[in-house]
Structure 1
């Protein structure tokens, strides 16, 4: 029976409510418009007591639904409390109740609200741009109405549309409209210049973007995002001298845990977080990778569920040469937030570096389908095509040796040139290979020439890469040439390699002048703990046709000494030792020899604009060379080179070499030149 009691009570309350509502409506039918307290409502609005005013308006509007003045007060009050899209919707339902000035204000405020919504992060990717499209459609409809009525467009409409176009990825339209407004004497106000700067950066026009963003910062110095945008514009202009102090200043100016007056503890300061993470990335771009890592790792430890932090740390690990560690961070970020585009781009880049195109392709294709106009996605796709497409190398080199008395294994003059080609990837693993080269050297008037054509097959998947080449010299000396090489990546730091080559193309031309060829067996190991250190070791065994066996052991170190945004200085060191089994070979073949060399390399980035750059490198070294029966001599060397990158995967480099080596106790002077053009990775 209790349930019946509850049902009876509920029914009684409903009936009572219905009776009371009907009674109040019936009583209201007799009220006149004079009973509506317009003065009280206007006073509440003047006192900015919006909720009390709105409550009074709604109460009387229920009784007088056709009252135009009440309806107008309702719409204006909604606009005043921030419900501007709703206010505009209600205005459009009864536009005759409003003055032209009120109509213009409501339209502008409502459209501005839609624009703000278009900048917010969508709940899912399918609706990411829905609000921006809705705002664009509303602006177009409003402009059409104004055109039909002959009413001039308010100036703010063009400025607001810049924001919408930026959000929609129509960056060229933003740039064109911005220039039109500026040239027609309508300078764009500060609130829209952030969108303009973003579009100009996307169009790779950083100089113009920096000017626009400087104006935006001046107009709204309290906006926490604008200085960061300006910092990136300066980075893309290669003005690290402006960008790094700017971003560091933001970090210093924003306390991590600011306190409100009287508060016992501070609160989270997200503008400080934005400043700190972006400053760390700027340091990474400026070659200070250890410093960037030291900033981000503690933050990621504090907030392990922050997708942006995980993606940022992944980028830094990738810059440092740790693709496996980077992939782990990018995968975590993508799991935490599948909308994080940078994390998914990072997955594609790291998986490609790790030679797992089969895993990278679904992510790559999904990104292209969902974000075809996103600048970073387009850049990822260009890199994808470059890695997987045609690969080629054209090279030439030559030199001249003086004062050596004919002992030089390189001859008095020498030349080398050739071409190497690889097809696009087949089934994510295979490439067809081909190469052709010719080299010659003059030995006291006699020329030794080797010209070879080869075809091959390349395989690269996960940790393993391997190549097989088959070829033959034009003169048939040595018969069929076969070369097999393989490499195994142990982890991000260690790698092993091995090669076996019958009738090897790099065998001594001096030996070839006596119709002697050589086979090569080589093993090696590489250790690269970071981008700042590289150690390599190799052991070679040469087996010549004349019965001579020659062994060579070498160890090399390349260590970063100084890192600046446009200058890298590396220290170089190498040691080597060799021995030959024959003392009477008709070519340079020391019974025992050893060397130790130390040097320095200066790598100066003279100019860069996105994928294009010009670098110059200067390498100086000197070392001791010891040869059995001939003693020790100091050997200096110098190299200067240029590198031009015309586009991603299009690189031309050339350089001059000078050295004073010693062979069989005879010192000579060598001057050499080399050049190559690389197409692809």
Structure 2
């Protein structure tokens, strides 16, 4: 019986025979002990900490052992300090305390406890070996060797093998590398043909690592030629390369093995250069070294080595898989696809990596924006993987992890091919049938975020976190979620953790980049140029709202985020338009603004002040405050108030008329496929006019294809003015009559325009995307106004057609730069005169 089993048995028996003074029922305490034995030590430790003063003697011993299992050395020593009579402790308990002292570098106390354990169980050599390890750590290696020699030949072959590995450890502590290798060799001869003791294997690896000796030293054969020795070492190193892809026992250790392999390969390749006839061995080492590079996330080195080696000859398919993964990490999925195809062609479903290589092939097709090919590859893969598998000595079937990972990949393929609803349903189902697995539920949370359901995704991640709080994929997802929820401080905390622990992971780099962008300064620019043409006898005025040949330019600069929630901004605007009848006149407007923006989980608020100058009117001050709130992921509302609103019609501002504007609005977005917005805006113009303006708009996804989507649109808007203008025929004497307001202001109007928007992706490659779209709409415009002619004033009600066509392109040049341009043609009647309006628009957003 080994040491761990002995401790577990002592602990369980102790829990079952605890005296009447135990502070919890025996059955409950048994459950805590069983959980601790299975690896879940937290509940038992939490209970023992809470009742440290009420513990029985057995529970004090339990506290020491469980804390030792949990790797909590300081807690082991604290629990040991609460034991009043330490002389009655068993040898395994003393050994647990001794290991804690050793880990905290208190070697003298550790050695004393091992000697005390030896007195209790003098026939067990493990206490001697523990003392020898402590002596070697305390720079007493030769004393440790002398301590162990009398036991040689007096114990079983298995114990002697372990003892010799400890002696090898002691030899290394005094710099005797070859003596250490000899002891390890003797240990393996004792264990041969195996199975080898795990402790022996582990310590043998430690010896070779510290001694920088090749694994070929396991069986020294003087008859081997130098090339044969190098070949043997190359074979052993190849095995270690494959093991290095399994990762380390802890997060901090995941790169230890690859780093050691890369260093060792450098030494061996130098030996090959000095050994005649070792060229073939050197090539094999260079090929296998690419696996160590890939395990260390050194993707560029993998590709550089591959390109050089491929010029000298063909590369084996197992190495092409490493190269393909490196190309994927370097965002070259097209090249990765070629290599994965070759890898799969040389494999069969019985090979260990067949499923993984097929999955990576599908991912390369998705990242190369070839969803149709990915669908075909996935349809070939899905039937080959069973849903469940049976484990030996376990009566129930278990979910096959290869099946689960393939089904998760199928969700991504569905998404890429436009089957968003099916993907969502399947992702939710996978999370429900495998709640203990992190990937299905994290993937389901990601789909919730794509639909804008950030709070639902947050809850899903918390459920996953309760079972596995230190998962890298989970922390990446939580960081992205925190950014979507505008929880900037939480995002920074998660980013710090990823920076310290997972900087070399692709998902971590992307999430950290998003957090970095969220804290950058931002520049927004929008510009439009229009031209209007009237159809009718009095059609020289052009568009009565914007004027003819109108121009609008607006730029806003935001500062980097400070104080977690704040951004300052500065903006400037210029607008112009031609108004007039017989002689066109151009009106100009300029304004500058500055303010602050506040954002948190549920709120976006801005406060700004502005200086404005329009036409010959002197400089005026204005201001605006806005507040937008999220009730939940679906409902949002907000309000705004503008003093001397910048949205006041240019024609009014040029005449010295300004307006205060209010606004209340609400929106409903149950998913990224559906949205509805409603707003109401009261205006009070300085000439006494009250305008009530309202709008209802919405969009609904009608169809989705792999590279395109079709949305239905609806826009309804209307207004009512307490003071309205009087329209007239410019060919009559009424053209000289000027009554009513000096800007377009009918008694009431209403426009209803349904439409369609078709969006097509021209190019998609990671952060670079290029889309174009066509938007068409047709409806009716209803207007109630006063018409004046030579016979007097008349109330008129017009019901005229309204249509619009718009074509545009949106280009995302990088993750910090977006540019959009569009051209729009609108046909609408104003006061019975049909106007054709052409607009050219440009938008840009840049983070720096």
Q: Bin the TM-score by the shorter chain.
A: 0.7 to 0.9
Equivalent residues in 2 for 1:168-317, closer than 5 Å: 168-185=296-313, 187-222=314-349, 223-257=354-388, 268-317=399-448
Q: Is the contact made by 1:394 and 1:678 (CA closer than 8 Å) also made in structure 2? A: yes
Q: Is the contact made by 1:308 and 1:340 (CA closer than 8 Å) also made in structure 2? A: no
Quick one: structure 1 residues 70 and 305, their matched pair in 2 at CA, closer, same or farther if it must change by over 3 Å?
closer
Question: Any idea what the Cα deviations from partners look like across 1:584-608, whole Å, max 9, x if unmatched?
Answer: 2222112122121110001111012
Query: Paired residue for 1:483?
Result: 624
Cα distance in 2 for partners of 1:270, 1:307 equals 12
Query: Paired residue for 2:590?
Result: 451
Q: Is the contact made by 2:826 and 2:837 (CA closer than 8 Å) also made in structure 1? A: yes
Task: Confirm whether residue 651 of structure 1 aligns to residue 651 of structure 2.
Answer: no
Equivalent residues in 2 for 1:88-487, closer than 5 Å: 91-92=216-217, 95-97=220-222, 99-100=224-225, 103-104=229-230, 106-150=232-276, 152-153=278-279, 154=281, 155-185=283-313, 187-222=314-349, 223-257=354-388, 268-403=399-534, 405=539, 406=541, 408-444=544-580, 445-475=584-614, 477=618, 479-487=620-628
Query: Following TM superposition, by how much is the alpha carbon of 1:370 offset from its aligned partner in structure 2, in angstroms?
Result: 2.1
User: SS of the residue aligned with 2:688?
Assistant: coil
Quick one: structure 1 residues 177 and 289, their matched pair in 2 at CA, closer, same or farther if it must change by over 3 Å?
same
Query: Paired residue for 1:534?
Result: 675
Q: Which is further off, 195-204 or 69-78?
A: 69-78
Question: Any idea what the Cα deviations from partners look like across 1:59-97, whole Å, max 9, x if unmatched?
Answer: xxxxxx99xx99999999679999899799674156344
Query: Paired residue for 1:557?
Result: 698
Cα distance in 2 for partners of 1:430, 1:25 equals 75
Cα distance in 2 for partners of 1:256, 1:79 equals 33
Q: Which is further off, 602-611 or 153-162?
A: 153-162
Q: Is the contact made by 1:124 and 1:339 (CA closer than 8 Å) also made in structure 2? A: no
Cα distance in 2 for partners of 1:307, 1:138 equals 36
Cα distance in 1 for partners of 2:461, 2:347 equals 34
Query: Paired residue for 2:158?
Result: none
RMSD over aligned Cα, in angstroms?
3.4
Q: Is the contact made by 1:79 and 1:106 (CA closer than 8 Å) also made in structure 2? A: no
Q: Is the contact made by 2:247 and 2:253 (CA closer than 8 Å) also made in structure 1? A: no
Query: Following TM superposition, by how much is the alpha carbon of 1:615 offset from its aligned partner in structure 2, in angstroms?
Result: 0.8
Query: Paired residue for 1:596?
Result: 752
Query: Paired residue for 1:582?
Result: 723
Cα distance in 2 for partners of 1:616, 1:495 equals 29
Cα distance in 2 for partners of 1:600, 1:251 equals 37
Equivalent residues in 2 for 1:72-87, closer than 5 Å: none
Q: Is the contact made by 1:333 and 1:340 (CA closer than 8 Å) also made in structure 2? A: no
Task: Confirm whether residue 633 of structure 1 aligns to residue 820 of structure 2.
Answer: no
Give the TM-score normalised by the residue count of structure 1.
Answer: 0.85
Give the TM-score normalised by the residue count of structure 2.
Answer: 0.69
Cα distance in 1 for partners of 2:214, 2:417 equals 50
Q: Is the contact made by 2:762 and 2:770 (CA closer than 8 Å) also made in structure 1? A: yes
- Structure 2 segments unaligned to the other structure (5+ residues): 1-117, 126-149, 155-160, 162-180, 725-739, 785-795
Cα distance in 2 for partners of 1:654, 1:463 equals 32
Cα distance in 2 for partners of 1:13, 1:315 equals 55
Quick one: structure 1 residues 12 and 393, their matched pair in 2 at CA, closer, same or farther if it must change by over 3 Å?
closer
User: SS of the residue aligned with 1:207?
Assistant: helix
Query: Relative contact order, CA 8 A, sep 6+: which one is greater?
Result: 1
Query: Following TM superposition, by how much is the alpha carbon of 1:519 offset from its aligned partner in structure 2, in angstroms?
Result: 1.1
- Structure 1 segments unaligned to the other structure (5+ residues): 1-6, 15-21, 27-53, 55-64
User: SS of the residue aligned with 2:799?
Assistant: strand
Cα distance in 2 for partners of 1:572, 1:536 equals 12
Q: Is the contact made by 2:492 and 2:515 (CA closer than 8 Å) also made in structure 1? A: no
User: SS of the residue aligned with 1:487?
Assistant: strand
Query: Following TM superposition, by how much is the alpha carbon of 1:394 offset from its aligned partner in structure 2, in angstroms?
Result: 1.8
User: SS of the residue aligned with 2:388?
Assistant: coil
Task: Confirm whether residue 624 of structure 1 aligns to residue 791 of structure 2.
Answer: no
Q: Is the contact made by 1:306 and 1:336 (CA closer than 8 Å) also made in structure 2? A: no
User: SS of the residue aligned with 2:339?
Assistant: helix
- The total of aligned residue pairs comes to 628
